[in-house]
Amino acid sequence: MTQCTAAVAHAPGAPFTLETLDVGAPRQGEVRVRIAGVGLCHTDLVFRDQVAGYPLPAVLGHEGAGVIDAVGEDVGDLKVGDKVVLGFSSCGACGRCAEGLPSYCEHFPALNYAGMRLEDGSSAYAKVEDGGEERISSHFFGQSSFASHAIARVRNVVKVGETAVPLELLGPLGCGFQTGAGAVMRSMACPKGSSLLIFGAGPVGLAAVMAGVIQGCADIILVEPIAARREVGRQLGATHVIDPAGQDLAEAVRAHRPTGVDFILDTSGNIGVIEAGLACLTSHGMIGLVGVPKSMDATVAFNVGQLMTFGHRIIGIIEGDSTPQSFIPELLAHHAEGRFPFDTLIQTYPLAEINEAIAAQARGDCIKVVLTP
């Protein structure tokens, strides 16, 4: 048994508390990772606040990076000392995994959201205090990396070699950055010369901007209310930016592209924005949805006749349709050639300042937070 420091979520909307927990040795098919850095993602707050259910108290965090310091049995070529990025969990055996679509794994909800080992219902974490033991849920996205040490399943783990980017900054490649980039490069597969509209210049949206440049999109339109983020989008390759304040979004986009846009990515989860996006599509255009709405029961209104007449396509996107073991190295290769400078979007905070970091990110003071234990 090893002790670790972790940020623990106890109740919806409540601040995280920094606590000392016991973390066990890795079991079969698991490794233990000494976390160097972990990205702060909106999805962590979605589950903390129970917009989507997760058993509390819990260690959340799903964009970890670090060094393996212990291994269980049957972990393949993984070994102590390997530098790794941690992604989402998948079974590797179902039909979708066999198709190379692990983010649509038939067991994705259980593997990522159950808060325990599925084999026996145990948790990797416990808090021992005054002679008693409190169970703390683990294995969030197969890792629970808001901690100095995390237990991860083998299929979560992506080995990385030496990079120009410090190891502690690589974690967001495991979710946010791969989601935005994968949406453009994999899910929608935007071809060279196409037009791309992105709602939101957070980490996912700006990753999509960089991916649009990589794909050779001729027109990359970014809609974002914060002026500083619009400027960052321009620097990364957006060809046109729109401030949505005080204007009709669809009219603003149509003023720039009267015939509509080929591809749209919504990162906001805002129903009104999504509906405006539908009004911006050209014939056979596609809109991809990655933003989490305020309610998981939210519905979008669309005109079926228009959908049928123009062949519009609406798709939900999970983790950018990516296979982390191949896509994360691909993104690192793009970074090495100057085409995916994701690290320029990151600001680090100590894990102990997680609540301050959440507030700063919500205010728009920073684009992407990485927490360092």
Taking Cα atoms as reference points, which of 252, 307, 316, 255 lies closest to residue 284? 307
pLDDT higher than threshold 80 for residue 104: yes
pLDDT tens-digit map of 266-289: 999 999 999 999 999 999 999 999
pTM over 0.85: yes
Q: pLDDT-derived band of residue 303, with 50, 70 and 90 as boundaries? A: confident
Q: Do domains 2-174+341-372 and 180-318 have the same CATH topology?
A: no
Span 72-84, average pLDDT: 97
pLDDT higher than threshold 90 for residue 41: yes
Q: pLDDT-derived band of residue 319, with 50, 70 and 90 as boundaries? A: very high
pLDDT higher than threshold 80 for residue 294: no
Map out the domains of the chain as residue ranges: 2-174+341-372, 180-318
Residue 293 confidence (pLDDT): 83
Residue 211 confidence (pLDDT): 98
Question: CB–CB of 352/18 below 8 Å?
Answer: yes
Fold of 2-174+341-372: Quinone Oxidoreductase; Chain A, domain 1 (3.90.180)
- Would you put residue 76 in left (φ > 0), alpha (ψ -120 to 50) or beta? left
Give the lowest-confidence range in 13-27, 124-138, 234-248, 346-360.
124-138
pLDDT higher than threshold 80 for residue 295: no
Q: Residues of the chain with pLDDT > 90: what percent?
A: 92
Residue 357 confidence (pLDDT): 98
Residue 1 confidence (pLDDT): 77
Which residues are CB-contacts of 132 (< 8 A; sequence separation ≥ 6)?
none
Range 180-318 classified under CATH 3.40.50.720: yes
Residue 184 confidence (pLDDT): 98
- Would you put residue 97 in left (φ > 0), alpha (ψ -120 to 50) or beta? alpha
Number of H helices, E strands in the chain: 11, 18
pLDDT tens-digit map of 212-257: 999 999 999 999 999 999 999 999 999 999 999 999 999 999 999 9
pLDDT higher than threshold 80 for residue 200: yes
Please work out, in degrees rounded to the nearest 5, the angle formed at the alpha carbon of residue 101 by the alpha carbons of 301 and 125: 95
Looking at every residue in the chain, the average pLDDT score rounds to 96
193 versus 301: the higher-pLDDT residue is 193
